[in-house]
């Protein structure tokens, strides 16, 4: 396969992290493919290359590991058919769930800053923690600004304490983006309330199936989605190949 069809330069990631970042566009690689990929990266001065590999293709895993790709995450995709939506006891959360408002953004950014520490960017080791924090702050802010089709906010005593972002991928499918809860509400059932409310929002907007992605190391999120009726759709492996690592402060 030609290198130009195997690789894609990522403008947004590159601008955000201040390094030249690209991704491999396929999920399986041969040794011939990876040679083309590395030549392309060298000719385009790529600093970091993302690769999402199919976990059930042993040759791909060996090729990645033999060519200095660093394993950073297990991507678990779960799905749920919207024939039934779980019922949550209203006493679990005494506040309200509503659509986001512009005035929510500062509080949601503060929650996002500390809510996604299981992601591959933190575990890579080459991205400064401050930029990883800022990535999720920016993500939830952009979601409130139209990147997501809806952001549902948990409010208690006038203050946002959690969020879930909702994306309609086509007329019959939806995708949960980010789910976050303030530190005083983790493990208290708020995540399940938010996910259930999102499922109702998706159903009201015509979706018949919803997917969500989480990390293999994030067993709490997996249990949350399983309790809401999600089942595993796929398991993939995230690799990063650094050609010029960032200098991460001690």
The pLDDT score that the predictor gives to residue 12 is 97
Stretch(es) of the chain classified as CATH 3.40.630.30: 79-235
Calculate mean pLDDT across residues 153-170: 95
Q: How confident is the model at residue 43 (pLDDT cuts 50, 70, 90)?
A: very high
The pLDDT value recorded for residue 250 is 46
Alpha carbons 57 and 103: distance in angstroms, whole number: 47
pLDDT of residue 133: 98
Q: Which two tokens stand for residue 242?
A: 């650094």
Whether pLDDT at 207 is above 70: yes
Helix (H, G, I), strand (E, B) or coil at 44: coil
Q: Does pLDDT of 106 surpass 80? A: yes
Asked if residues 212 and 77 have their Cβ atoms less than 8 Å apart, the reply is: yes
The contacts of residue 2 (CB under 8 Å, 6+ apart) are: 36
Q: What are phi and psi of 233, to 5 degrees?
A: -100, -45
- pLDDT at site 2: 63
Q: Is 48 exposed, middle or buried (0-12, 13-18, 19+ CB in 10 A)?
A: buried
Tokens 């018949």: give the residue. 208
Domain made up of 79-235: CATH architecture? 3-Layer(aba) Sandwich (3.40)
Please tell me the distance from the alpha carbon of residue 183 to that of residue 167, in angstroms, as a whole number: 25
How many Cβ atoms sit within 10 Å of the Cβ of residue 188?
Answer: 13
121-146 per-position pLDDT tens digit: 999 999 999 999 999 999 999 999 99
Q: How much is the pLDDT for 210?
A: 97
Residue 86 pLDDT: 74
Mean pLDDT, rounded, for 184-204: 88
Residue 236 has pLDDT above 90, yes or no: yes
- Looking at per-residue pLDDT, the higher value among 189 and 33 belongs to 33
Q: Tell me: pLDDT of 193 over 90.
A: yes
* Mean pLDDT of all residues belonging to the chain: 93
Q: What is the pLDDT of residue 249?
A: 54
- Tell me what percent of the residues of the chain surpass a pLDDT of 70: 94
């Amino acid at each position: 396969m030609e290198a130009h069809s195997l690789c894609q330069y990522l403008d947004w990631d590159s601008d955000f992290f201040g390094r030249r970042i690209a991704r491999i566009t396929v999920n399986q690689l041969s040794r011939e493919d990876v040679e083309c990929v590395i030549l392309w990266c060298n000719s385009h001065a790529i600093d970091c290359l993302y690769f999402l590999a199919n976990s059930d293709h042993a040759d791909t895993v060996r090729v990645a590991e033999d060519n200095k790709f660093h394993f950073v995450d297990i991507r678990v995709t779960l799905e749920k058919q919207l024939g039934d939506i779980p019922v949550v006891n209203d006493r679990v959360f005494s506040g309200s769930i509503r659509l986001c408002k512009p005035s929510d953004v500062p509080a949601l950014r503060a929650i996002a800053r500390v809510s996604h520490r299981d992601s591959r960017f933190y575990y890579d080791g080459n991205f400064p923690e401050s930029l990883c924090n800022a990535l999720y702050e920016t993500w939830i802010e952009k979601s409130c600004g139209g990147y997501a089709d809806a952001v549902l906010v948990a409010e208690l005593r006038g203050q946002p304490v959690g969020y879930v972002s909702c994306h309609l991928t086509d007329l019959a499918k939806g995708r949960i983006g980010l789910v976050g809860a303030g530190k005083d509400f983790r493990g208290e059932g708020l995540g399940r309330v938010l996910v259930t409310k999102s499922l109702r929002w998706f159903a009201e907007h015509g979706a018949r199936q919803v997917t969500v992605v989480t990390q293999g190391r994030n067993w709490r999120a997996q249990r949350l989605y399983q309790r809401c009726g999600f089942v595993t759709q796929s398991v993939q492996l995230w690799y990063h190949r650094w050609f010029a690592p960032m200098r991460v402060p001690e």
